[in-house]
Structure 1
């Protein structure tokens, strides 16, 4: 199956980069759009207030005319306003006269007599006028743009006599100009933020998912070379990615170890089976040529062949035991064994089998202890260790067996006073097919699998095994297993 090209758009880094970019952009866009609308609303209200103030000021100014409204009286009043700095709330802007200031701001003042006839207007306008006894301000549209139309009666200041009407068309020139500029700025900044959001989104995604990229690259290297020593670089961030990297590196180390052991296992099995197979083949060829006519050679060849076949049978059985030992957690997780009972049983069996040996037992337990282990497996471990102690004893035929309880573990020690082993041998003794002295071990019938089986079984039951040895003075093997707390056997219920 071809490997997918790394860095493609379907990568999680690209997906998260896209999502982060969209999130950043939407966060800006919605916030900016809200602020723009708030600003537009504020400016709109300001313009509305200005229109109301302008209407009030014009009404107040025109109400000072004590005669009937006419074109001349209205023009005279507006000229007077343009000269004054402040007249009833109307203020000139800089050096601009009042009317010019109104024109620049898009405001148009229209004055009507009591009959609704137009007397005066600052600019030509086609806005409809309707006599209204009340002051009003309404929103309208002029050339598809928002505008205000305000108006009301003009009453004399002295007796509130109706002089006429005033109408102001407020085109909101300042408002539309500012809003137009702000809208342009908004879209320019939006385009810039879009680019920045994409850069920030993809940058953050690539930065935070860098450990995953390293994991993928490491897996690619492992896929090409199973025994590659490439490992994920551990960051200093101490986050979940760091923990995951540590666990993956540990898993890769175990995989490399298992692959190495598998290769060694196959090589060792091939080597171990090659010798007995060659011996049996040699004897059969000898018999086939002429040995079957000689009773002595026939007996010797058959005996040797049977010995080698028995050796191969033992080797195959030990290999099966080793493979089963790796699966104890799956098949025997609910098994319970009384440890003291099994130790005493094995101790007495070995005393009977080897009467020329002295077996000593130190039992420090005051009660029976139960452990989560299959009874046959525990007996097999004890037999392997006791059998090795007997095999490798030299002149001093003495074996010490002890059992004790420490904290939440039961501890068992088996000591012999035989050959012992070097420090280098102690580090390798639990490896498959390893023998301290291969020639002597073969003569004693060993394949170098017993201690490997014991170690695999103990580790499957959360136990442990260690060795202490002095070359020429013997060895002590110590095993420990976790005790089942508050366990009550069925017969005591």
Structure 2
């Protein structure tokens, strides 16, 4: 039931599980959209400030332009003088000073009829220009407005609320150029109509493009999530294949590139290969043990049945059966030990990864040991090393390999009891060769000699105590240390076994650990 819930998007406690794909999609979409939104807001605010500054400068131009038109030496401002100064064409007199707004506006001119910049700016929509007397009496205005007036001693330009929207109001006192007496005030009101229209357009554009950006970021986020999670989905599929069948050869498709997911896929595939190898080794181990133990068990069973029927009363048969059974038990012990050695040899990469051994010392030690054990043999050592060299292998394993090869050289020698041992360095490796002048092998045998339980002559090999595992153990050990073993042989003339091991080199991790 728990598995069923997980497959249907729920966890075991009943709560819904959000897919990682959707989490990444929503996260990527939110990140892209927020980034777009922040940049858009920053640009809009910057544009707003620039526009307000431009409007502020324009209002100043109007103030100073009107002030320049009203510049008189000593006379006070009157309606006639103001209308004359701010009219698009000169009018010498204004007999009717109390005309209506529409009539006065005709004196100023309709929008677009001004012949200079000042008139154009004064006639813009939302712009109101007023002129007041020193007593705050209205002398002139371009159009009516509900904005109140407050006299100022100095020129002031302020942001104000005009009909619920942002506007700019500027006030400037006007002084006579001769006596410097206050002769009136100028008030310019800018409702920022164009600014607000542009803001509305910008807001609409931001809203529309924001929705488009949200949709685009969601699609892009989904595509990116699919791309990023594809290796993870491949890992999941591979794990399901392995769970269904432990012998499955399913592996992750390695994506192009050299990113973390590629590295994870490579590591995962390597792990699966090793697991597969260990499973096969375990299976092979069980098959080999059961196959090889079948014969000695059958022999012992036969002798015991013989004794049980009538042989126990015959001292000669009893002695023969007990002796044969003990021999088979010894052979079984040797076989089990060799099988355990072979099993451990297949796992040297795990347990003996960073071992190092002085190869010259070990070769010399085994050379002296075999000279002492087999005084009837002539052992010859050719040492081409100028100094001691360390190789990447565990000491006991190197000794085990040399003992296997030297023991075989002695065991399969015939009339010429002579064994040659040579050691030499070649670039980044060291090679040890062991040559005998014994029975030798055919080409077919040399291709199979490193297989498990393979014997060139099974009758003679069993007589000499071999189980056919020695060379398999040596090969597996060398393989684990990234070494190699090969053989050259001529039937009835002897064999040469060569082992090659890499010279030990300290890695950065080992140097750091030792320091």
TM-score for both structures, normalised by structure 1? 0.81
> Retained in 2: the 8 A contact 1:432–1:449?
yes
For residues 446 and 270 of structure 2, the distance between their equivalents in structure 1, rounded to whole angstroms, comes to 24
Residue 285 of structure 2 is aligned with which of 249, 262, 265? Answer: 265
For residues 44 and 395 of structure 2, the distance between their equivalents in structure 1, rounded to whole angstroms, comes to 80
Query: C-alpha offsets along residues 81-130 of structure 1, whole Å, 9 cap, x if unaligned?
Result: 3179545632448xxxx6xx44xx21233332332123444444333322
Matched with 2:37 is: 29
Matched with 1:491 is: none
Matched with 1:44 is: 52
Change (3 A) 1:163 1:375: closer
Matched with 1:193 is: 213
Structure 2, unaligned stretches of length 5 or more? 11-16, 88-104, 506-515
Residue 79 of structure 1 is aligned with which of 101, 106, 112? Answer: 106
1:146 equivalent to 2:166? Answer yes
> Retained in 1: the 8 A contact 2:155–2:172?
yes
1:210 equivalent to 2:230? Answer yes
Q: How does 1:317-466 map to 2 (within 5 A)?
A: 317-325=337-345, 326-327=347-348, 330=351, 333=355, 338-349=361-372, 351-352=374-375, 355=376, 359-365=378-384, 369=388, 371=390, 376-393=396-413, 397-407=416-426, 409-416=429-436, 417-423=438-444, 425-438=445-458, 440-459=460-479, 463-466=483-486
CA positional deviation for 1:27: 2.3
> Retained in 1: the 8 A contact 2:172–2:185?
yes
> Retained in 2: the 8 A contact 1:339–1:369?
no
> Retained in 2: the 8 A contact 1:81–1:90?
no
Change (3 A) 1:146 1:366: closer
For residues 274 and 249 of structure 2, the distance between their equivalents in structure 1, rounded to whole angstroms, comes to 12
Structure 1, unaligned stretches of length 5 or more? 486-493
More deviation, 195-204/279-288 = 195-204
Matched with 2:244 is: 224
> Retained in 1: the 8 A contact 2:130–2:142?
yes
For residues 18 and 482 of structure 1, the distance between their equivalents in structure 2, rounded to whole angstroms, comes to 52
For residues 254 and 73 of structure 1, the distance between their equivalents in structure 2, rounded to whole angstroms, comes to 100
For residues 428 and 71 of structure 1, the distance between their equivalents in structure 2, rounded to whole angstroms, comes to 126
TM-score for both structures, normalised by structure 2? 0.78
More deviation, 443-452/308-317 = 443-452
Other structure's SS at 2:322 match = helix
Instruction: Give the RMSD, CA atoms, in angstroms.
Output: 3.7
For residues 111 and 208 of structure 1, the distance between their equivalents in structure 2, rounded to whole angstroms, comes to 70
> Retained in 2: the 8 A contact 1:336–1:370?
yes
